[in-house]
Structure formats: C-alpha cells, structure tokens
C-alpha cells in the first residue's frame, strides 16, 4: 500500500497520462441426483425428450375437426356432388369400368387430402411445441440388438404395478368415461332434431348429421387436449426420473467435461456474464471509471485506509461498458479516458481483484487526476 501511495503522491503533479503496457435409471439403486444439463442435452440429441402422445393425438384430431366445421359448406357440396354424379351415371354406364375407380379416387383425394395435410401439420406443431423447437434424430429408429430378447417380467411389472402403469390405466379409463358421457349428452340434446329428419330433404339431413359429427369430433378433441395436460407433466417427471444419476456418475461426468475446451470456454463465459451482472450493482461505489473510451470501461475503487491498492469493482465491453458509464454519470463518478490502461485492465485483472504492481504508476496518475477534479469541485461549491 505504501508503494502505491508513494506513486500516487509523485504523480499528483504530473500531467502526462500516457503509459506503455505489454430412461429408467431412476428405479435403479442410488440414482437420486437430478440429471445435469449435459445429460439432458445428450438425451435430446438422441431424440429423447419429455413428450405426451396424448397431446399429439388431441391436436391431430382437433385440427381436422376444426377444418370440417369452418369448411363445412365446401365438404358438403363436394359430398353431394359425388353422390349426384354416381347416382346419375350408375344407370347410364358400366359400373365395372376402370374409369369409375379413377373418378372415385379423384373425388376422394379432393376431400381427404386437405384433411390429411392438416392432420400432418397438427402433428408437426404438437412435436415442435413439446420439443421446444425442431428436433431431428435417427437414434430412436436405429436397431438395438440388445433389446431383441424382451424382458417380460420387467414389462409386466412396469405395465401393471408401476406408477406409470397405474397412471396410464386411470388415464385411459377417464378418457373413455368422459367421452362416452359427453357424447351421450350431445346426442340426447339433439334427439328432437333426429325425429325431424323424417320430414326434411336429403341434403338437409346430410348437412345436420355431418355437422353433429364434426361437433362431436371437435368436442372429443378438446376434451382429450385438456386431459393430455396432466399427462404431459407426468411424462416430464418420468423423463427426468429416467435420467437421474448417482453421485459417482456426476463426478465422472464432471471429470470428463473438465478437459473439454468447448465446455470450459462455455462455463467461463457463463461465469463471466454472471460476475459482470452482479458487479454492475457495485459501480456506484467506484471512485473512478477508466474508459477506452467506447469499447471498454473499468470501475475502480481505492480506500487508502483499508486497501493495499485499487480494486476492480466492475468491467465491461461494448454494451456493458456503455451501461457502466451511464451509471457512473448518474452518480457523478469521474470518467477518465486512458486507452492502453483500460485495455490492459480489462484483459488481465478480474472483477474483485487488486491491481498488479505493474499498473501502480499508471493508476497513480489516474487517481491524481481524480483528486484534482474533486478539489476543483469543492472550490467551486465553496464560492
């Protein structure tokens, strides 16, 4: 500390501030630890994610049902056109002719293809939503010869006596009961309309039956979607449990990743970002902020009574540097421009560290300028 104070005193009258610087593991014994981010990421790369097939089924049913309701006039007209065409031509042409099959396929594709495409789109959307983005992996479809011989005891144990088996049984039973009950209520509410069908035209009867069928389909899909929500959270819990690790596995994984340069670099970046965010709160305590002036900003603090040398409270580059300077202006902290010193401190001194001895003279000149500015301010306010 004495050396830095001496440097500061000698540099107080100097004005030259230039410086030249140089799946089922949870059931196994001991797997009690939550999976690491690395293991979850590896499982995702293998195509293993938390997913509820009930959500897929519900959306694949809901989207086409919605299309049938909103495009009911189009589908009804096409159906009536098919019936009209075949009834009129059946008495005029040979029904065994191959032409009839081609015409039927043409009409069928006109009706079925849009619904099939909508169902495919619904399946893709359901998977993207559950996978948190697009996920493509060939691992799930690769043959695994170690699973050719099935373990029937384990299968029956999981299917009948495990939490997963009991949950699936209760879920299936609930779906059947709810769908049957709601369908019964809808049909009973429309019984008077069924009686009226005896006195309406054929197109009207077809339109009513098709509309009721589409409503039943859409209602069933909505109910399945509602019932699929708890299933998704259950499947997510099961997925996390299947990835659980032992303490030894976590240690081995850490040792394995410790030597990976990419992982080490990523961890270093994350830690630096966390430190920078936390250090921003300390900027108001700084005595001076040294700038590049545009790219770097280093907030310094020095208390001659408690510190051996100045300490770096916060540092940042680009956007972070601008933020540090803005906070400094708000709290009337001096901004001193010194390009080589700012670059050197940003590269070589970490947040919370005391500056190395090689920068004592440079910092003494900076604090000398700060003291000069502070003295001028005090003289101004005295006037």
Q: What is the pLDDT of residues 320-339, one digit of tens each?
A: 888 889 998 998 888 988 88
**If pLDDT is split at 50, 70 and 90, which confidence band does 155 have?**
low
| Residue entry with tokens 């429309």 | 190
End-to-end C-alpha distance for the chain, whole angstroms = 35
Q: What is the Cα–Cα distance from 156 to 97, expressed in whole angstroms?
A: 54
Does the pTM of the predicted model rise above 0.85? Answer: no
- Cis (ω within 30 of 0) for the bond into 67? no
Are 48 and 110 contained in the same domain? yes
What's the whole-number mean pLDDT along residues 263-269? 65
What domain range includes position 353? 2-20+263-382
**If pLDDT is split at 50, 70 and 90, which confidence band does 275 have?**
low
Q: Is residue 302 part of a domain?
A: yes
**The token pair that represents 190 in the structure block:** 């429309």
Q: What is the Cα–Cα distance from 295 to 290, expressed in whole angstroms?
A: 11
322's CB contacts (< 8 A; 6+ apart) are: 297
Are 230 and 308 contained in the same domain? no
Are 195 and 272 contained in the same domain? no
User: Rg for the chain (alpha carbons), in Å?
Assistant: 37
In the prediction, which pLDDT does 95 show? 60
Determine whether 87 is exposed, middle or buried from the number of CB atoms within 10 Å of its CB (0-12, 13-18, 19+). exposed
Q: Is residue 255 part of a domain?
A: no
pLDDT, mean over the chain: 77
* Cα–Cα separations (whole angstroms), residue 91 to 81, 85, 94, 100: 17, 11, 8, 13
Name the residue among 281, 284, 276 with its Cα closest to residue 333: 284
Are 13 and 120 contained in the same domain? no
> Total domain count for the chain?
2
DSSP, res 97: S
**The token pair that represents 207 in the structure block:** 């339109």
More confident call, 380 vs 284: 284
pLDDT for residue 277 is more than 80: no
DSSP of 308-333: SS-EEEEEEETHHHHHHHHHHHHTT-
**The token pair that represents 275 in the structure block:** 């430190």
Are 227 and 344 contained in the same domain? no
> Worst-scoring range by mean pLDDT, 96-100, 159-163, 243-247, 353-357?
159-163
More confident call, 208 vs 258: 208
Are 214 and 277 contained in the same domain? no
**If pLDDT is split at 50, 70 and 90, which confidence band does 207 have?**
confident
Are 50 and 14 contained in the same domain? no
More confident call, 45 vs 377: 45
Are 51 and 94 contained in the same domain? yes
Q: What is the Cα–Cα distance from 57 to 165, expressed in whole angstroms?
A: 19
Are 114 and 53 contained in the same domain? yes
Are 103 and 135 contained in the same domain? yes
Q: What is the Cα–Cα distance from 228 to 6, expressed in whole angstroms?
A: 74
């Amino acid at each position: 500390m004495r050396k830095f104070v001496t440097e500061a005193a000698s540099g107080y009258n100097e004005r030259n501030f230039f410086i030249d610087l140089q799946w089922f593991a949870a059931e196994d014994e001991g797997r009690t630890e939550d999976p690491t981010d690395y293991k979850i990421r590896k499982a995702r790369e293998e195509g293993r994610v938390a997913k509820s097939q009930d959500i897929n089924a519900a959306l694949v049913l809901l989207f086409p049902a919605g299309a049938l309701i909103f495009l009911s006039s189009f589908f009804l007209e096409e159906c009536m056109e098919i019936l009209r065409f075949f009834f009129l031509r059946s008495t005029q042409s040979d029904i065994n002719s191959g032409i009839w099959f081609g015409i039927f396929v043409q009409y069928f594709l006109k009706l079925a293809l849009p619904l099939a495409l909508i169902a495919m789109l619904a399946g893709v959307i359901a998977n993207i939503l559950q996978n948190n983005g697009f996920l493509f992996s060939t691992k799930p479809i690769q043959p695994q010869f170690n699973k050719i011989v099935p373990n029937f005891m384990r299968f029956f144990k999981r299917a009948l006596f495990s939490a997963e088996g009991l949950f699936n049984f209760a879920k299936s039973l609930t779906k059947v009961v709810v769908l049957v009950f709601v369908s019964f209520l809808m049909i009973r509410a429309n019984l008077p309309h069924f009686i009226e069908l005896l006195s309406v035209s054929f197109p009207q009867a077809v339109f009513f039956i098709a509309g009721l069928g589409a409503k039943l389909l859409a209602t069933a899909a909505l109910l399945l979607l509602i019932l699929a929500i708890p299933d998704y959270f259950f499947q997510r819990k099961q997925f996390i449990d299947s990835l659980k690790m032992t303490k030894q596995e976590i240690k081995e994984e850490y040792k394995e990743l410790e030597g990976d340069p990419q992982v080490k670099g990523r961890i270093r970046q994350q830690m630096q970002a966390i430190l920078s965010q936390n250090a921003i709160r300390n900027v108001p305590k700084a005595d001076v902020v040294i700038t590049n002036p545009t790219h770097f900003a280093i907030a310094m603090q020095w208390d001659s009574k408690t510190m051996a040398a100045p300490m770096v409270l916060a540092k940042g580059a680009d956007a972070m540097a601008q933020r540090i300077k803005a906070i400094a202006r708000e709290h009337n902290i001096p901004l001193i421009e010194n390009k080589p010193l700012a670059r050197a401190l940003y590269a070589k001194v970490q947040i919370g560290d005391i500056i190395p001895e090689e920068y004592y003279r440079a910092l003494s000149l900076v604090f000398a300028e700060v003291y000069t500015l502070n003295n001028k301010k005090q003289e101004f306010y005295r006037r």
